[in-house]
Every structure is written in structure tokens, then in C-alpha cells.
Amino acid sequence: MEEKHITGEHLTAFASGLLEKGYILISEAPDGTGFTAVKDGASVNMNTAARPTKASFKQQVFPKTEPVFHFHKTVDDVLLFDPLPHTQKTVVFGARPCDAKSISIMRKVFNWDYKDEFFNARADNTVVIGTLCKYSDETCFCTSVGLSPSSTDGSDLFLVPLDDGGYAVKVVTEKGQQFVSENPALFGEAKAGADAVAATHPGPAQKFDAAQVRTWISQNFDHPHWAELGQTCLGCAQCAFSCPVCHCFDIVDEPDSFLEGRRMKNWDACQGGMFTKHASGHNPRDDQGKRYRQRVSHKFSYYPERFGEILCTGCGRCTRGCVVGVDIGEIAAGIAGLA
């Protein structure tokens, strides 16, 4: 992998240059709610020692709500209008590895049989500049799902802050290479030190072996352990909504009047009681234990089985936000213990 160096001032200039070219730049909001657009190059948030924001940048590629088409009824017909295709180029600046990885995980399910043009248009127009993560708490477990604070997986460029105030730049993809080529004056020759910095941030200790978890889940669909897990869960689904890779959606028609409206694609989550409720009233996942089994199984067993990726980046958001303290890292570790 090619490596470059960029000074702090040049990074600001690089960001400003992107804004001038019409890119939207998003980075972690200082108030910790989520990713927001920055107005100037100097406001890009590169501080990864702080706690990750409550929301990831999932909305950038998979908005919480978006129109699939607009409809209008006439006397004898229903007219459909496509929304304008998404063409806005966006750079995610300073994503931690656990967020950066999300697009490549979701890309697999959105291109499995049906190609989701909405997701793809957004993902193709998004460039991810990842950065070394300096934060870790008891809810983090990136090291248990094949990532680390310095993992470049999912980033187009990856920055490692060096002691001189500049950054080591790892050029991960074509998209990243293009940025470097376009700005020869800003990216200099690589300097040593990135490995030493990465070594001082090993991240959280490994909590479980994901392969063990996967094996146990695939053999224990009816284990009583699942019912125990669902006991205190309130089914609030904040875990799924704050997850960088949860990608379930619902399709709803939203009328403006009797004649016109639009069909919307909205986030949905397996933890809600309505998620699998049939029109007949029957619900195959009729209690929280079954719903929690689905969540854990999908993340650690079904998705890896089908797509070769764990549907979890170990960011810890679900645990941090859970009002009743359900800890998915602890649960996976518990399952690994049963294996």
C-alpha cells in the first residue's frame, strides 16, 4: 500500500480544496449527535480521542427516509415519477475504522440479487477518509470482529496522526489515489512513525472469537439461552437505528392528498413487535427473546454465512445507547463461552 505524508495545514487546505470543487464534507459533529456537513476546511473534526457520535454516517449512503417514486392519480391512470438520481459527491472526513467499514459491509446485501440503485448511487459518490481511532471503552470490541483502531478496511484514504502534527496517509483505493494525484503539492513523501503510533493504540482487548459464536448460533436455534437474553430488552430498537450496518427497511406510501404522494423507503428494525407481524395477526417472532435471537444470529451467523462479513463493526453504539444495559459484546462473549 502506498504511503504519503500530509501536514496539518495541508490537510486543512486539502479539505478546503474539496469544498471548493463542490464536494460536501461531513465529519463527527462536536455535539456528539452524528455526522454533520462542515462549512470550511478548518472545521473538519479529526479528534478520535472523544467518544464516537451517537449516530454513524450510515445516513450518507442509506438515508432514514427517501422517496422511491412519486405518484399522481388521474381519472384513468396512475402516473409515476422517479426522483432525481443522487449525484452529490461527499467526503466522510475522519471516520473511525468501525464506521469506515460500514459501506463495504452493506454493499454486499444491497447488491446480492437486486441491485439497489439508491444505495449504490450514494455509495459510489462517497469517499471515506478514515483515521486512527484513539478511543476505547468497555463497550468497544472492534478487535473481536476482525478490525482494529488502525484498520484501513473500508477507507479510501487512511490517516494516522503523527507526533509532528501531520498525518501519515495510506492510499487504500483508486478513489483515494485520485485525491492524492490531484493534489501533488499537498501530499509529500512518506515519513516514518505511523506504525509506532498505531502500536500505542491497540484498541480494546479481544472479547470473543467470532468463528466460535457463529458455530454455536448455527447449531442452537432453540437453545433456552435466547429467551433469557430477551428478558430485559424493551424492544426500543435504538440499537438497530444507531448501528452503522443494520440495513433493514420498510416501504410505505405517504399520500399528500387523495391524488398524489410518494412511496418512501424507511429504516426499520427487527426489535420492534410490528417487524414480522403478518396481516393475519400471526407473528412468528412474537416475543423479545425471538427478536433478540434474530438480531444476534443475523449479525454473527446468517450474514457471515451468506456474504463472508460479520454484520457488526464492534463500534459499541448499541450497547452505549441501550437504556437497559444490553451489551452485545458481552452476549457474544457469553455465546462463545457456551460453544
Partner 1 sequence: MPSLQHVVKDLLASGAVEVVIGYEKAPGQNRTRPFFARTPEDADRLVFDFSALNNLAVYLTRQKRPAKGKIGIVAKGCDARAITMLMQEQQLTRDDVHVIGMECSGVTAEMGADLSKDTLAAKCVTCKVQTPPLADTLVEGPKDYERPDDRNGARMRELEAMTPEQRFAFWAGEFDRCVRCYACRQACPMCYCEQCVAEKNQPQWIETSATLRGNIAWNVIRAFHLGGRCVGCNECERACPADIPLGLLNRKLGMVAGQEFGYAAGMDASAPTLVGTWDKSDRQEYIK
Partner 2 sequence: MKMPTSTWNPKIVAFVCNWCTYTGADLAGTSRLKQEPNARLIRVPCTGRIDPVFVIKAFESGADGVLISGCHPADCHYNTGNYHARRRWTLFHNLLDFVGIDSSRLHFSWVSASEGKKWVTVVDGVIDEIRARGPFERYQKANSEFALPPALFEAAAKEVQQHA
Residue numbers of the site for partner 1 (CB under 8 A)? 31-34, 54-55, 64-65, 137-138, 231-232, 234-238, 240-242, 250, 252, 254, 264, 266-267, 269, 272, 274, 320-321, 323-327, 330
How many residues line the site for partner 2 (CB under 8 A)?
20
- The residue whose grid cell reads 435466547 is 226
For position 79 contacting partner 2 by CB under 8 A, the verdict is yes
Pattern 44-73, binding to partner 2, x per CB under 8 A? Answer: ---------------------xxx--x-x-
Q: What is the phi-psi region of residue 324: left when phi exceeds 0, alpha when psi lies from -120 to 50, beta otherwise?
A: alpha
66 or 330, CB closer to partner 2? 66
Composition of the chain by helix, strand, coil, percent to 5: 35, 20, 45
54 binds, among partner 2, partner 1, none (CB under 5 to 8 A by kind): partner 1
128 bridge partner residues:
92
For position 257 contacting partner 2 by CB under 8 A, the verdict is yes
| Range 104-143, binding partner 2 (CB under 8 A) | none
8 or 272, CB closer to partner 1? 272
CB of 117 to partner 2, least distance (A): 17
- The residue whose grid cell reads 446485501 is 109
Return the ∠ at Cα 31 (arms to 29 and 34), rounded to 5°.
45
For position 76 contacting partner 2 by CB under 8 A, the verdict is yes
Contact 127, 179 (CB under 8 A): yes
Amino acid at 44: V
Question: CA nearest 318: which of 210, 216, 249, 233?
Answer: 233
For position 221 contacting partner 2 by CB under 8 A, the verdict is no
31 or 77, CB closer to partner 2? 77
196 or 259, CB closer to partner 2? 259
d(CA 44, CA 39): 9
d(CA 32, CA 55): 8
The site for partner 2 (CB under 8 A) is made up of: 65-67, 70, 72, 74-77, 79, 81, 83-84, 254, 256-257, 259-260, 262, 264
